[in-house]
Amino acid sequence: MSPRKRRFEFARVPAQIGQDLDERLGAATLLRRALNKVFPNHWSFLLGEIALYSFIVLLLTGTFLALFFDPSMTEVAYDGSYTPLRGEMMSQAYATSLHLSFDVRGGLIMRQMHHWAALLFMASILVHMFRVFFTGAFRKPREMNWVVGVLLFWLGFFEGFAGYSLPDDALSGTGLRIATAIILSIPVIGTWTYTSLFGGEFPGTEILPRLYIVHVFLIPLLLLGLITVHLALMVKQKHTQWPGPKATEHNVVGVRMVPGFALKTTGFFLLIFGLIALMGGLVQINPLWLFGPYKGEVVSAASQPDWYVMFLDGSTRLMPDWDLTIGPYTIPAIFWPTVVLPGVLTMLAVFYPAIDRRIYKDYEAHHLLQRPRDVPVRTALGMMAISFWLVLTISGGNDIVAEKFDISLNAMTWAGRVGLLIVPPIAYWVTYRICLGLQQHDREVLAHGVETGIIKRLPDGRFIEVHQPLADGHLEYAGTPVPKKMNKLGALGPAIRGFFFPIEKPAPPPPAVTPVSPADAPRELEEAPPKY
């Protein structure tokens, strides 16, 4: 009698495939660890995800644009749909940019989505680095991830510049011309670098095809590699978290990768994608058909680069005409604000974790974040750097400010120069004092309790406000937010449930917290002055 044929069960197929793959690849342990990774719940951790999802949108839209764009600098006569430029001589790169905008179905929205995603990518990287800096997330053992973040910013910077230059319109051509002046200002190697990149005199015929390869292949590959390293280090070193209930240096409190975080982050990606698509369809950006093709003899006023390049534009405008002559060599003034200044700022950012260790004498590993008010020196230094950057960025558009507000351009330039000297120190002092004031406020609440809003008159006629103590004894500040209002202590009932209409019978409120009178309250404890 033949053996009975085994019944095929579809429910066992996924498990069987997983078992077969694990027997050959041994990936079950790594996959289990990845799926069980815990992510803390806090809005500030979404900033890095915005950068990641913007990069995905950049890859998708950039792939579409690469199918239609031709980076050739060959001169052609335009015969496309945009009537004002029909018959004009222009490069093939600019002609295909116009073709993408007017003749390719969905081309314009893809162009604008690509540009908006690039701006959002750079903005989210910068704000994410602010969060990492002000909360001390760069401390040991995450110094390497901080360096990776700095490299990601500068790679994104050059990637944006390369893409900005490709259409060969009047605006991008002006930016490329400025780049040639910066390259030529570099001592010794500037001329060689210039001729090597351009294949001769500007603009030549080689620069756009070379920028195209850099923009669509080399830098995206480097960005993808650095993002992979960044995520791998985060998984290896575990996620930082804010101090709070059950949160310690040895655990992570939050939701697991599957299913909670995976569902939330998928929805967040769709939200970012939808926002970029909405902006690409409704908010115009870089209307290159209005600028016309690039011509060396045509110069336009009020031409501005993308926002993340404006600080270099501002530093160039504020730099005095101080050429340095050493023997037969002359170093132009443009070399200092466009090459030396970015180099100094980059080195300061890269080595700041080591500087921070020396300032605070802290050589231990940390997984809990710090509130900015608890590290006033670091917070003040960060605000000092941001104010320095803002002065340069505003000065990048000083000609537009001077025109709109009827101010002398020369006065705007001198205001920027003076501002670079006095605004950062003022920002440092103000931030430092604010941090100390916030610290003192937290300690006062811990010592005296929360203001109840109840005014009581004493027998001698004085009026005092009744405070609700947080505990029977003195509480030590633990680096976590301190409740400042009575509803944070459960003094108010829960909100009535319901979306459009409340339910018939609201849930009964908990017993009200009875304010303690000054006579019954514990005596105020004298605090030693905090050490900063």
Give the H/E segment covering residue 77: strand 75-77
Using pLDDT thresholds of 50, 70 and 90, give the confidence band for residue 208. very high
453, two tokens? 């809003």
pLDDT, position 480: 82
The CATH classification number of 33-244+251-316 equals 1.20.810.10
The number of C-alpha atoms within 13 Å of 211 and in the hemisphere containing its C-beta is: 29
Distance CA 249, CA 282 (A): 46
Which is nearest to 46 in space by CA: 309, 264, 231, 368?
264
Which is nearest to 66 in space by CA: 163, 161, 143, 188?
163
Enumerate the domain spans of the chain: 33-244+251-316, 449-497+514-532
Share of the chain above pLDDT 90, in %: 55
- 166-177: pLDDT as tens digits: 999 999 988 899
169 DSSP β-pair partners? 293
Region 470-482: what's the mean pLDDT? 78
Region 25-31: what's the mean pLDDT? 68
Distance in angstroms between the alpha carbons of the first and the last residue of the chain = 88
- 211-233: pLDDT as tens digits: 999 999 999 999 999 999 999 89
How far is residue 255 from each of residues 39, 126, 199, 264, 481, measured CA to CA in Å?
A: 5, 26, 55, 10, 21
Neighbours of 242 (CB within 10 A): 19
State which amino acid sits at residue 398.
N
Torsion sign (Cα): 213, 219, 220, 225: positive
- 340-399: pLDDT as tens digits: 999 999 999 999 999 999 988 888 899 999 999 999 999 999 999 999 999 999 999 999
Region 81-110: what's the mean pLDDT? 94
